[in-house]
Chain A
Amino acid sequence: MRTEFLRPIDGLKLPEVYRALLRPGETGADLYGNAHQLPRFFYEITSWQQAREVRLAPHFTLAELMLVDCREARLLLGQFPHYVPCAIVLLARLLEDFRREVDAPVFISANGGYRSPAHQIGGATSIHAWGTAANIYRVGDTFLNDVRSIGKYGAIAASLSPAVFVRPFGLERGQTNDHLHIDLGFASLTPRECSDAS
């Protein structure tokens, strides 16, 4: 793994324009009204080249987990630095375990890794704003877009840990139909060199 270039920063010390978008440490409510604290500590990414070079796990680069489309806030889309919650390393570990179980390449969709609280899809109510969720649209040559494939690979993901949550196939809120959503809950990570004190 190449993670030596990752520099953790305290989101509370970021310039106001970034804090307004990333909302570090703020309390928000999820879709069901449960309160959660948004991530406070982030890795600062200075370029796409860096994102592509940083391997969070043997088969997953940071770039794969931070690809978003134009629904992301302009400041977090078109220029660097970018910021991703430190818990992204836990997600990469989960994905690596999943890849080992399915024994095939695992593809994460655009908008399917970390999305900021300012992203138009879900915003701060989405667990993707914690960097602990991934949308897998393809495993090997199989596109996960029907009840069978999402059910099959969802069961494998769920078997990896009691902490893993998998959304079922369907059209309703909280269900998916063109990808497999897996997440680790609203987990945050404080790097060893950082302090939780305000």
Chain B
Amino acid sequence: MFSVDVSNGLHEELEALALKNKARAIGVALHDLETGFRFSLRGDRWFHAASTIKVAVLLAVFRAADEGRLRLDDSLHVRNRFFSAADGSLFRVSQDRDATPELYAAIGRTTKISALAHAMICGSSNLAANLLLDFVGVEYARTVLREAQVDGVELRRGVEDHGAHERAINNEATADGLLSLLSAIRGDFLTPESKREVIRILLEQRFNSMIPAGLPPHATVAHKTGEISTACHDIGIVYLPEREPYIAAILTEFDSEREGRRETVAAISEAIYRSLLRTEPKSNED
């Protein structure tokens, strides 16, 4: 059977890639909407979610908008002051780690919720993520995940909450879980308007060195990366003009700060693409 052949070959290729690149662990989940083919390699293994958790926050924000709890063009007070999920202690996020310096210039003033959602995903802004999560609330976001029937994504706190991290209170996810999160976004959990907007935001992702790097130039990807010292992930919906899209969640764990992590994710992305479209590896001559 087609799916079995693809699955076996892909499984072996991904295991070989993990071994070659000295990944401590990989978790991969895949759903091809063209054929219905599903694949999961250690899809139930838990990883630190890193910034992929921001997709869960994005879902909660748009669900809140659909429910009339907020309006996307509402303005929110921008302040860099958050309280740890561990003990309520004060923490601030670091501007140095954020690709959205313009948001820090707005501290003290207001920014539209839609702009915060965009900054949280496209620039992976930790400040925007924490502001939005503070506003909708962790409990509400967890409820939204349950209502969307997303298992395998544990949202427990904001980002850069080092006090919580030291006490092992982390956001965690499995590849299967993040796949179901993207499936919820693509499904009918949100209103059509919200769904379109969420996918548009994901398509405008600025960090494209992982899943998109393993694809031909005509592919477009609605995706979100996530990186901390030991984790390097990318999850996305891959659009190809000749066929229905496929959804992929690629999670990896490495020894701290090991080189070649993003390249490994890109190589996994390329392997997935080749297996689904049964094409030859890209030539490095072109």
Contact = CB atoms under 8 A, between A and B. Distances in A.
A171 B88 contact: yes
Contacts of B76: 69-70
B90 A177 contact: yes
B143 interface: no
B132 to A, nearest CB: 12
Contact of B77 (A111, A145, A177): A111
Q: Which bracket fits the contact residues of A?
A: 10 to 19
A111 to B, nearest CB: 5
Given A69-B77, A70-B76, A145-B81, A109 B108 contact: yes
Contacts of B70: 70
B89 A171 contact: yes
Contact of B108 (A70, A71, A110, A171): A110
B74 interface: yes
Contacts of A110: 75, 77-78, 108-110
B79 A109 contact: yes
A114 interface: no
A165 interface: no
B107 interface: yes
Given A137-B108, A143-B107, A171-B88, A177 B113 contact: no
Given A107-B108, A171-B90, A70 B80 contact: no
Contacts of B79: 109, 137, 178
30 contacts: A67-B109, A67-B110, A69-B74, A69-B76, A69-B77, A69-B110, A70-B71, A70-B74, A70-B75, A70-B113, A71-B77, A107-B108, A109-B77, A109-B79, A109-B108, A109-B109, A110-B78, A110-B110, A137-B79, A137-B107, A143-B107, A143-B108, A145-B81, A171-B88, A171-B89, A171-B90, A177-B81, A178-B80, A178-B81, A179-B108
3 closest Cβ pairs, A-B complex? A70-B74, A137-B108, A110-B77
